[in-house]
Amino acid sequence: MSPIVINAVAFQEDGLWIAQCLEYDFVGCAETLDELPDEFLGQVTDQIEADLEAGHEPFFGFKPAPQRYWALFAAARAVSKPLKPRKDDLAHPQVQTQLFPVAA
């Protein structure tokens, strides 16, 4: 499998932190911003594993995120550092994530 690069923008909505992937219209969430990188990576890894088990390419059938999220990502990337997962045991060796929070 080729490496999968996941770029995402993080924002708060309805009391949860949301990670909106750009390359695929895939969303992860967590209760806190601190938890979001690990939760999102775990959710991405679960999706990849489910797709592979079903005999599909990762993110089979997912389209790119709507343009408004790409604009949020560009703005967030310009002013913040990416959030990194802390749990190495969740890391999928072929997945690289870049998660940028929207400035509050």
For residues 63 and 8, what is the distance between their CA atoms, to the nearest angstrom? 14
Best CA proximity match to 101, nearest among 4, 8, 6, 3 = 8
Euclidean distance between CA atoms 10 and 82, whole angstroms:
10
Eight-state DSSP code of residue 54 = T
Instruction: Tell me the pTM.
Output: 0.86
Judge whether residue 5 has pLDDT over 90.
no
CATH topology of domain 4-101: Double Stranded RNA Binding Domain (3.30.160)
Beta bridge partners of 101: 10
Taking only the tens place, the pLDDT of each residue in 12-56 is 999 999 999 999 999 999 999 999 999 998 899 899 999 999 999
What's the CA gap between 11 and 103, in Å, rounded?
8
Give residue-wise pLDDT tens across range 52-98.
Answer: 999 999 999 999 999 999 999 999 999 988 888 876 544 566 788 88
Asked whether residue 100 carries a pLDDT value surpassing 80, the answer given is: yes
